[in-house]
């Protein structure tokens, strides 16, 4: 056995249960004998006294060891280091006025220690762990993830996880009050087609077959409605084998909801109630309901996005008509071929210098991927329009019309992109966001008023150019708008869906739909998506069968819980609201997953590796550890 360093300090805990946490004590506790347990955050030695900030999840409490009070305890205290774990018994006393710390809830008291038990010692940590923000040294994220148990001691992460806990509680209570049942759906299931890759789990008992981890419990929750469960909610893990981004993990948590006899209005009303409850409980803010709604087309054409951030203006303006016959060949040919010319008025930026405009052009061509940026400056000295295309090519009269149409005034800047719709709308949306960030129009995470928005009237399907067929915009179970049923045959991409997304500050936080509940419409939908009868029966026979036997109308929604917590916490990354996140390379560097396994395990699963030439498996076998 390799003994712990300084293990001679460690002693059995003779103090019993703690009487308070490190965040509890106040001046009214003065004179009480207390037991506290926690981590040594910082230590200061001061002529016969040792001061320690003792830390736990609830806060910091200053404890004082005096050589006069208990020399043995004082001696031990002198040997303590950061992150040692101790239990102390002592007496609460008021601090002198000069020693009071108003920034800590416990800052008006301290505990004079009678006795100490060192419960465990700590080696020097690989990075500094402390509740004192001013002392924190930034360490690289990989190191933090490798020692996540140390990073988790930071009050900021603990605060986020506590907020997440509060969100679970409020969410579940809300749904309970509205007669929903929390019901668990299987994790080992068959693939549901959400468009992403499935994680597969080989079956040992059924050679050659695989379970799949759910991308969402979509079909199961619909079957619960067919089963008469009426109202379902579940906070559940979902899985998508996709490249990781800052706002996505391989496994993510979803608030999953489904209701029988629901219409769009039922869903909007209830979910606005949920958001109001969350904002009330967590941010102490009363949200104004109902939330505004915007059709998908308007969002795309006004904000260049299906998740517009409406906290600032910089709207898109269609100036195609102005330039339809302006003589500038680039514009004319785009308008001729059905494309769009989009202008954004940027107030107060008419004096931008050449290099700033060059950087913007660079961003437009390199990051946004547009062919080029055309702009008109209206300098604040009133010297008239400056344009980056010569007046010969693009006559000023047309530019003046466009400037007037977008409402630009002296001192403003007008940015113009042109191209095929909907591409140019999306590019303009990116440009809008980029400029807004440049101009500090986008509040920092956690700052500013939160703006909710329902996006409605999504198209049912869109045409996938690469595969030359239609794919569902949400998923194949979304009901077409009843007025557009006849479009399914000839122009399915013109049919509207009964789908909706909830957008918060430019982030999609949830989405759902009223579902198809009639067999012949579901069959029609599969047909539109190019899924033959046989494949449909093979993959979704259970759902088509279920629709034979009195399937009720139903609809639902799902929220991305991780992102919701991130936005509520004002965090910058999903990794700051997940206890054990993965890195962007889909690894968990602490336990080191994924990992190689014993070849015997694979044999039992009826599979073997088929590795690229440059990958060599290590040799290892594992023992069984428990009975």
Query: Following CA atoms 296, 302, 308, 309 in sequence, which dihedral angle do they give, to the nearest 10 degrees?
Result: -160
Q: Which stretch binds its own copies (CB under 8 A): 350-358, 379-387, 420-428, 512-520?
A: 512-520
Whether 124 and 136 have beta carbons less than 8 Å apart is answered as no
DSSP state of 410: T
How many residues touch its own copies under the rule CB under 8 A: the total is 166
| Residue 481 annotated in ligand binding | no
Structure tokens of 372?
């080029």
- Cβ burial 327-363 (10 Å sphere, 16+ → b, else e): ebebbeebbeeebbbbbbbbeebbebeeeebeebbeb
3-class DSSP state of 322: helix
Q: Which stretch binds its own copies (CB under 8 A): 176-184, 341-349, 445-453, 498-506?
A: 176-184
What string marks each residue from 60 to 99 as x (binds its own copies by CB under 8 A) or -? Answer: -----------------------xxx-x------------
Whether cis (ω within 30° of 0) applies to the bond prior to 188 is no
Q: Which is nearer to its own copies, 48 or 195 (CB)?
A: 195
Question: How many Å apart are CA 588 and CA 510, to the nearest integer?
Answer: 27
Question: How many Å apart are CA 178 and CA 445, to the nearest integer?
Answer: 31
Residue 379 engages its own copies in binding (rule: CB under 8 A): no
| Residue 560 annotated in ligand binding | yes
**Rounded to the nearest whole angstrom, what is the least distance from the CB of residue 104 to its own copies in the complex?**
17
**Rounded to the nearest whole angstrom, what is the least distance from the CB of residue 538 to its own copies in the complex?**
7
Q: Which of 29, 62, 130, 185 binds its own copies (CB under 8 A)?
A: 185
**Rounded to the nearest whole angstrom, what is the least distance from the CB of residue 616 to its own copies in the complex?**
9
Q: Which of 69, 128, 139, 229 binds its own copies (CB under 8 A)?
A: 229
**Rounded to the nearest whole angstrom, what is the least distance from the CB of residue 210 to its own copies in the complex?**
5
What string marks each residue from 576 to 605 as x (binds its own copies by CB under 8 A) or -? Answer: --xxx-x--xxxx-xxxxxxxx---xxxxx
| Residue 194 annotated in ligand binding | yes
- What are phi and psi for residue 220, nearest 5 degrees? -65, -40
What string marks each residue from 122 to 161 as x (binds its own copies by CB under 8 A) or -? Answer: xx-x---------------------xxxxxxx----x--x
Whether 378 and 409 have beta carbons less than 8 Å apart is answered as yes
Strands 452-456 and 293-295: parallel
- CA distances to 59, 73, 538 from 205, rounded to whole Å, are 51, 61, 21
Q: Is the dihedral of CA 305, 310, 314, 320 positive or negative?
A: positive
| Residue 474 annotated in ligand binding | yes
- What are phi and psi for residue 359, nearest 5 degrees? -65, -40
Whether 62 and 106 have beta carbons less than 8 Å apart is answered as yes
Question: How many Å apart are CA 406 and CA 244, to the nearest integer?
Answer: 39
Residue 404 engages its own copies in binding (rule: CB under 8 A): no
Residue 187 engages its own copies in binding (rule: CB under 8 A): yes
| Residue 508 annotated in ligand binding | yes
Q: Which of 58, 293, 352, 481 binds its own copies (CB under 8 A)?
A: 58
Whether cis (ω within 30° of 0) applies to the bond prior to 594 is yes
Question: How many Å apart are CA 558 and CA 474, to the nearest integer?
Answer: 12
Binding to its own copies (CB under 8 A) within 105-124 occurs at: 119-123
Q: Which is nearer to its own copies, 411 or 599 (CB)?
A: 599
Identify the bridge partners of residue 455 per DSSP, sorted by sequence position. Answer: 294, 501
Binding to its own copies (CB under 8 A) within 546-575 occurs at: 546, 548-553
Residue 524 engages its own copies in binding (rule: CB under 8 A): yes
Binding to its own copies (CB under 8 A) within 234-253 occurs at: 237, 239, 241, 250-251, 253
What string marks each residue from 608 to 627 as x (binds its own copies by CB under 8 A) or -? Answer: xxxxx--x-x--x-xxxxxx
Q: Which stretch binds its own copies (CB under 8 A): 197-205, 279-287, 413-421, 435-443?
A: 197-205
Question: How many Å apart are CA 166 and CA 160, to the nearest integer?
Answer: 10
**Rounded to the nearest whole angstrom, what is the least distance from the CB of residue 381 to its own copies in the complex?**
49
Q: Which is nearer to its own copies, 30 or 263 (CB)?
A: 263
3-class DSSP state of 58: coil
Q: Which of 97, 102, 133, 467 binds its own copies (CB under 8 A)?
A: 467
| Residue 241 annotated in ligand binding | yes
Q: What is the length of the chain?
A: 627
Q: Which stretch binds its own copies (CB under 8 A): 64-72, 345-353, 418-426, 520-528?
A: 520-528
Known binding residues for ATP are 240-242, 249, 508, 560-563
Known binding residues for L-aspartate are 194, 240, 474, 515
């Amino acid at each position: 056995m390799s003994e712990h360093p300084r293990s001679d300090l460690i002693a059995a805990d003779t103090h019993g249960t703690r009487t308070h946490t490190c965040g509890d004590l106040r001046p009214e506790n003065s004179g009480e004998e207390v037991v506290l347990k926690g981590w040594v955050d910082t230590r200061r030695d001061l002529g016969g006294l040792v001061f320690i900030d003792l830390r736990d999840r609830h806060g910091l409490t200053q404890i004082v060891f005096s050589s006069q009070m208990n020399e043995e305890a004082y001696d031990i205290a002198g040997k303590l280091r950061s992150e040692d774990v101790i239990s102390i018994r002592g007496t609460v006393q008021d601090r002198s006025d000069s020693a009071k710390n108003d920034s800590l809830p416990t800052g008006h008291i301290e505990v004079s220690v009678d006795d100490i038990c060192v419960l465990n010692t700590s080696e020097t940590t690989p990075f500094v762990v402390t509740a004192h923000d001013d002392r924190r040294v930034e360490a690289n994220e990989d190191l933090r993830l490798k020692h996540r148990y140390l990073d988790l001691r930071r009050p900021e992460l603990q605060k986020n996880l506590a907020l997440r806990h509060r969100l679970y509680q409020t969410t579940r209570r809300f749904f309970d009050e509205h007669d929903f049942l929390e019901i668990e759906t299987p994790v080992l299931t068959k693939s549901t087609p959400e468009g992403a890759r499935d994680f597969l789990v080989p079956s040992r008992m059924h050679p050659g077959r695989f379970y799949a981890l759910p991308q969402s419990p979509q079909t199961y929750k619909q079957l619960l409605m067919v089963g008469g469960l009426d109202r379902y909610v579940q906070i559940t893990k979902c899985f998508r084998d996709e490249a990781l981004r800052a706002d996505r993990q391989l496994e993510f948590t979803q608030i999953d909801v489904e209701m029988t006899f629901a219409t769009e209005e039922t869903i909007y009303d209830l979910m606005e109630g949920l958001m109001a409850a969350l904002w009330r409980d967590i941010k102490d803010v009363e949200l104004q309901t109902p939330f505004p709604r915007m059709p998908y087309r308007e969002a795309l054409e006004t904000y260049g996005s299906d998740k517009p951030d409406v906290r600032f203006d910089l709207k898109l303006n269609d100036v195609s008509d102005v330039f339809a016959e302006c003589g500038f060949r680039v514009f004319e040919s785009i308008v001729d071929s059905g494309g769009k010319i989009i202008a954004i008025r940027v107030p107060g930026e008419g004096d931008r210098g050449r290099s700033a405009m060059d950087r913007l052009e660079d961003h437009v061509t390199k990051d946004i991927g547009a062919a080029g940026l055309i702009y008109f400056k209206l300098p604040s000295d009133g010297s008239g329009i400056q344009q980056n295309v010569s007046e010969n090519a693009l006559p000023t009269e047309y530019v003046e019309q466009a400037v007037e149409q977008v409402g630009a005034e002296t001192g403003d800047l007008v940015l113009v992109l042109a191209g095929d719709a909907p591409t140019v709308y999306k590019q303009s949306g990116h440009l809008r966001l980029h400029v807004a960030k440049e101009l500090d129009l986008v509040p920092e995470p956690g700052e500013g008023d939160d703006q909710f928005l329902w996006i409605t009237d999504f198209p049912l399907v869109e045409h996938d150019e690469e595969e030359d067929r239609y794919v569902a915009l949400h998923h194949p179970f979304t009901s077409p708008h009843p007025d557009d049923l006849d479009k399914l045959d000839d122009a399915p991409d013109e049919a509207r869906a009964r789908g909706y997304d909830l957008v918060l500050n430019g982030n999609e936080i949830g989405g759902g739909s009223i579902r198809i509940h009639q067999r012949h419409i579901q069959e029609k939908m599969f047909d539109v998506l190019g899924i033959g009868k046989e494949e449909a029966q093979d993959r979704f026979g259970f759902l088509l069968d279920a629709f034979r036997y009195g399937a009720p109308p139903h609809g639902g929604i799902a929220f991305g819980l991780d992102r919701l917590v991130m936005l509520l916490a004002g965090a910058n990354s999903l990794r700051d609201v997940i206890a054990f996140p993965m890195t962007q390379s889909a690894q968990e560097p602490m336990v080191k997953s994924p990992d190689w396994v014993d070849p015997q395990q694979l044999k039992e699963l009826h599979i073997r590796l088929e590795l690229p030439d440059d990958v060599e498996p290590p040799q290892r076998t594992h023992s069984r550890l428990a009975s």
